[in-house]
Amino acid sequence: MNIQEHIISSLPVFDIKDTTEKVLEFFQDTTYSHIAILENGRFLGLFSEIDADGIQPDAKIEEYRYELQNFFARRETNWLDVLEVFARNEANLLPVLNEKEEVTGYYCLTDIVSVFIDTPFFTDPGSILVISKGVKDYSFSEIAQIVESNNAKLYGGFISGTENDIIQVTLKITANNYNKVVQTFRRYNYTIIFGNSDDEFLEDLKNRSDYLDKYLNV
């Protein structure tokens, strides 16, 4: 997947010897989270919009060198790794460096997410299923086997959350035999967090509840 066409070359970079007034003006005029700082023409680090709240406009960026953050992408960095850098650093702007450590442009989070959304994972017809299990107990090979053993196809999946040693996986599968897939995941002790097709288990539970209500009202 080619994301290089989304590199933005129109945004500025600042030199470590510039005044902080330039950085403040940049953040006031945009909604970006970071901006690149150079030293002798090479990438030194990123100034954060959050840190800009506490700086004096007549100071030099040099005085705040210790606050610079160090993350970036290369032109050859694949789009999934670019998304990971964005997420790990809570950023919406990411500098792209060449082999000389020069900033050749930026990736904007909105552009990269739009590339992700345009993948077949989201655009092709199918059903979304979100499952969870202990981080030590799940495996993608088992997940694929469960889906395919029910004559369904797995378009893709990714880890969409972790909490208290429980991992959450979002899957895109074909709609055929969806409910059989759901039931098999339950038999393998996966918890169903979300599904966008009718779930026979829930329907069966409702029928049993209705029967119990009738029995108690006799």
Residue 159: predicted pLDDT: 87
Looking at the structure, tell me whether residues 84 and 25 fall in a common domain. yes
Looking at the structure, tell me whether residues 92 and 134 fall in a common domain. no
Looking at the structure, tell me whether residues 69 and 131 fall in a common domain. no
Looking at the structure, tell me whether residues 105 and 21 fall in a common domain. yes
Q: For residues 142 and 110, give the distance between their C-alpha atoms in angstroms, rounded to a whole number.
A: 33
The answer to whether residue 207 is domain-embedded is: no
The CATH number of whichever domain residue 11 belongs to comes to 3.10.580.10
Strands 93-97 vs 73-74: parallel, antiparallel or unpaired: parallel
Looking at the structure, tell me whether residues 73 and 131 fall in a common domain. no
Number of folded domains that form the chain: 2
The answer to whether residue 210 is domain-embedded is: no
Give the number of other Cβ atoms within 10 Å of residue 7's Cβ.
17
The answer to whether residue 86 is domain-embedded is: yes
Question: What's the predicted TM-score (pTM) here?
Answer: 0.70
Residue 218: predicted pLDDT: 42
Residue 200: predicted pLDDT: 46
Looking at the structure, tell me whether residues 109 and 18 fall in a common domain. yes
Looking at the structure, tell me whether residues 105 and 138 fall in a common domain. no
The CATH number of whichever domain residue 175 belongs to comes to 3.30.70.260
Looking at the structure, tell me whether residues 9 and 111 fall in a common domain. yes
CA 77 remoteness from chain centre: 16
Looking at the structure, tell me whether residues 59 and 149 fall in a common domain. no
**What residue type is assigned to position 96 of the chain?**
V
CA angle 82, 123, 117 (to 5 degrees): 25
Residue-number span of the structural domain to which 143 is assigned: 120-199
- C-alpha closest to that of 61 among 110, 99, 12: 12
Q: For residues 187 and 183, give the distance between their C-alpha atoms in angstroms, rounded to a whole number.
A: 6
Looking at the structure, tell me whether residues 88 and 173 fall in a common domain. no
Give me the tens of pLDDT residue by residue for the chain, a chain 218 residues long.
679 999 999 999 999 999 999 999 999 999 999 999 999 999 999 999 998 887 888 899 999 999 999 999 999 999 889 998 999 999 999 999 999 999 999 999 999 988 888 877 778 888 889 999 999 999 999 999 999 999 999 988 888 888 889 999 999 998 888 889 999 999 999 999 887 554 444 455 555 555 555 544 54
Mark which of 61, 86, 116 sits at the end of a domain: 116
The answer to whether residue 188 is domain-embedded is: yes
The conformation of residue 53, written as its DSSP 8-state character, comes to G
Looking at the structure, tell me whether residues 136 and 181 fall in a common domain. yes
The answer to whether residue 36 is domain-embedded is: yes
Residue 25: predicted pLDDT: 94
Q: For residues 143 and 170, give the distance between their C-alpha atoms in angstroms, rounded to a whole number.
A: 11
